[in-house]
Amino acid sequence: MFDNLAMLVQKNVALQAFNTFHIMARAHALARISEASDVLALLADPEWAAQPKLVLGGGSNIVLTGDVKPLVLKVEIKGRQQVAETAKAIIVEAGAGENWHDFVAWTLAQGWPGLENMALIPGTVGAAPVQNIGAYGVELQDRFDSLDAMDLQSGQTFTLNAAQCAFGYRDSIFKHSSSPNQDRGYRPIGLKDRALILRVRFALPKPWKPVLGYADLERKMQETGCNQPSAQQVADWICDIRRAKLPDPAVMGNAGSFFKNPTVTPEQCSDIIGRDPKVVFYPLPDGSFKLAAGWLIDACGWRGKTVGMAGVYEKQALVLVNRGSVDGPDAATGGEVMTLARAIQTSVYERFGILLEPEPVVV
Ligand code: EPU
């Protein structure tokens, strides 16, 4: 057992290559998890079992503000397969450590459409449900079937359906901590740092219908004159659109959108329209409105600005970037990124009365 653990756990590991912001930080200890039994081996060891743990997927939605003291569990569980086919859907399963875009490309190559609008989102399959990734009119929860996860205290494996994952906009049960001391008449149950996602299953709907309502996709249809694209065609358009406005994390470190698009009441929305008629907003089914955070940040003059080595991307003000190296010591620090983020929050709050909420997990 001791020898196995010595091979599983590395000490003092550089994390710059393991987070897409490419922030320099170290893990006191890191275990590469290739199968569920690796976690069980750690839990069987009293020292590691008692350690707080941080689950790391592709590192595409995390800001490291210093060295990481909890034991980092780097999820590298592989495998992808069709597990069932019903009248309404093809059910496909992937290991949590599979690269998300490679998985999407593989499903399309098999002739199973459904995930094409989420092509090229950085990260892993296991991280996708944590923040309910979404793009161009489709969210993970629209294609989700179920997932298997392991309880990091008991080592028990359990399965959750969509309702049990409590998906919301860039949100799920995996982003929330349990707070048993909160006395609000209910006891919120969260799985943050308590569960490790092992495998995820997707329901790819039959028959397939493209989702083309997003303005950028309508533009592609007009440009190409193609009104009935194949799923592969949609995926290619999505890749073009993303490459045109989002930085490639391999070249310029970033964690995608840094803030969530805020939801406001109709009164707040009309107040802002009164002051800034150009504000970008979308009505939601419940009568509230979602505002484009990128527009709010842009309107405050932040696009292209820099604090230390952290900056606001020139082509999309919602994306904060590392202007330094992706593999060297002059990278932005987590502190610089958060200083910039707070300055943006303050100026958006002062001008619009809206507090932007960060999307990535800050560690
Ligand atoms: N805008 C500006 N200036 C900017 C940036 C945006 O005026 O600097 C305006 C745009 O002109 C557009 C509007 O804001 O009218 C919305 O911009 P965009 O279409 O780029 O989408 P977004 O709301 O900024 C969201 C997701 C993205 C996802 C796209 C497409 C969030 C937080 N972000 O961005 O997801 O790719 O829609 O569906 O919901 C991510 O979560 O990491 C991510 C990249």
- If one counts every other C-beta atom within 10 angstroms of the C-beta of residue 10, the result is 14
Given this model, what pLDDT does residue 189 score? 79
Q: Rounded to the nearest whole angstrom, what is the distance from the C-alpha of residue 356 to the centroid of ligand 1?
A: 14
What is the length of the chain? 363
User: Residue ranges of the domains in the chain?
Assistant: 2-75, 80-205, 254-362
Q: Is 131 in the pocket of ligand 1 (CB under 6 A)?
A: no
Peptide bond into 207 cis (omega under 30): yes
Question: CB atoms < 10 A from the CB of 235, how many?
Answer: 23
Indicate whether residue 303 lines ligand 1 (CB < 6 A): yes
Give residue 127 CA to ligand 1 midpoint distance, Å.
Answer: 20
Q: Which CATH class is domain 254-362?
A: alpha beta
Each residue's pLDDT tens digit in the chain (363 positions)?
A: 456 787 899 999 999 999 999 999 999 999 999 999 999 999 999 999 999 999 999 999 999 999 999 999 999 999 999 999 999 999 999 999 999 999 999 999 999 999 999 999 999 999 999 999 999 999 999 999 999 999 999 999 999 999 999 999 999 999 998 876 555 555 567 999 999 999 999 999 999 999 999 999 999 999 999 999 999 999 999 999 999 999 999 999 999 999 999 999 999 999 999 999 999 999 999 999 999 999 999 999 999 999 999 999 999 999 999 999 999 999 999 999 999 999 999 999 999 999 999 999 999
Instruction: Kindly state the tokens that stand for 212.
Output: 């083309």
Class of domain 80-205: alpha beta
Active-site annotation holds for 170 = yes
Contact criterion met (CB below 8 Å) for 162 and 141: yes
Into which CATH architecture does domain 2-75 fall? 2-Layer Sandwich (3.30)
The dihedral through the CA atoms of 229, 232, 237, 238 has a sign that is positive
Confirm whether 325 is a catalytic residue. Answer: no
> Which ligand 1 atom minimizes the distance to the CA of 261?
32
Atom of ligand 1 nearest to the CA of 256: 42
Is residue 194 within 8 A of residue 157, CB to CB? The reply is no
261 lines ligand 1 (CB under 6 A): yes
Give distance in angstroms: CA of 294 to centre of ligand 1: 6
Which of 60, 143, 170, 199 is labelled catalytic?
A: 170
Instruction: Calculate how far, in angstroms, residue 226's C-alpha sits from the geometric centre of ligand 1.
Output: 24
Cα 129 from Cα 335, distance rounded (Å) = 27
Give 245: exposed, middle or buried? Use CB within 10 Å, 0-12, 13-18, 19+: middle
Residue nearest to atom 28 of ligand 1 (CA): 135
- Which atom belonging to ligand 1 lies closest to the Cα atom of 316? 8
Ligand 1 contact, 292 CB (< 6 A): yes
Q: What is the pLDDT of residue 184?
A: 55
Catalytic one among 143, 146, 257, 336? 257
Residue-wise DSSP of 119-176: TT--SBTTTTTTTT-EETTEEGGGGEEEEEEEETTT--EEEEEHHHHT-BTTB-GGG-
257 is catalytic: yes
Query: Rounded to the nearest 10 degrees, how much is the dihedral formed by the CA atoms of 229, 235, 236, 240?
Result: 120
Q: What is the pLDDT at residue 4?
A: 75
Name the pTM for this structure: 0.95
pLDDT of residue 180: 61
CA of 53 to the centre of ligand 1 (A): 32
